[in-house]
A = this chain, B = another copy of it.
Amino acid sequence: MEYTKPLARLIEYFQKLPSIGPKTAQRLALHVIKMPENEVKNFANALIEAKTTISYCDICFNMSSSNPCEICSNPARNKSVICVVAETKDLMAIEKTNEYLGVYHVLQGLISPIDGIGPDDIRIKELLFRVNQNNVNEIILALNPSVEGEATSLYLTKLLKPFNVKVSRIAFGLPMGSELEYVDEMTLARALEGRVEL
């Protein structure tokens, strides 16, 4: 089948985006053609504006159009608590809970020897620099419960030992609303291991 050229090109661009397959790409492209012209232009401008104005915060490596980012420059945020995450999307997930009032440190990756990613390839020295410079009381490790996440947590815990700072890790266990019967064994094992006294 041959798409008319500009349509083929648009479908191709949509398909390059993550989780967009050929069927969805076609649906999105057809939708764009039915959108009002000024809406399409605004969308195109939003793409360019986001790409050209957003960069990484020099302090925490969060994505932002300002530097330092909105969180680092917010006087209401507690600078003595740093939550360490792997990616900006993890920071966003935590922000959505509206429960955390400290600041962040985005590692921009996790240690993964199999992918050739060592401690120097992610923002670990920048974290140590922050801990060294400022009055940091607590580091909360909020990394995925994966091999890479665990390895990175372990590495950071060791590295942070010499500094006089509390290091904690978010809890792993049963997700809310789940049923013990159906939860996988790994999760249940971690939940048992992480039991808290009442």
* Contact partners of A5 in chain B: CB under 8 A: 65
Decide yes or no whether A50 CB sits under 8 A from chain B: yes
Contact check, A96 vs B1: say whether CB atoms are below 8 A apart.
Answer: yes
Q: Digitize A32-55: 1 where CB-to-B-CB distance is under 8 Å, 0 elsewhere.
A: 110101011111111111111110
Q: Chain copies in the assembly?
A: 2
Q: Are B46 and A9 in contact (CB under 8 A)?
A: yes
Hey, which chain B residues are within 8 Å of A1, CB to CB?
A: 92, 95-96, 98
1/0 contact string of A106-132 vs chain B (CB within 8 Å): 000000000000000000000000000
Assess A28 versus B37: contact at CB under 8 Å? Given A6-B46, A95-B1: no
In the complex, how many residues of chain A place their beta carbon closer than 8 angstroms to a beta carbon of chain B?
A: 55
| Interface secondary structure of A, over-half rule | helix
Q: Which of A13-21, A139-147, A149-157, A163-171 sits within the interface? A: A13-21
Q: Is the CB of A50 within 8 A of B6?
A: yes
Q: Which 3 pairs of residues, A with B, have the shortest CB-CB distance? A: A1-B95, A44-B44, A40-B51
27 A–B contacts from the bound complex (CB under 8 Å): A1-B95, A4-B54, A4-B65, A4-B70, A6-B46, A6-B53, A6-B65, A7-B63, A7-B65, A9-B46, A9-B49, A9-B50, A10-B46, A10-B49, A12-B46, A17-B31, A18-B28, A19-B24, A19-B27, A29-B50, A30-B89, A32-B51, A37-B52, A43-B47, A44-B45, A44-B47, A47-B47
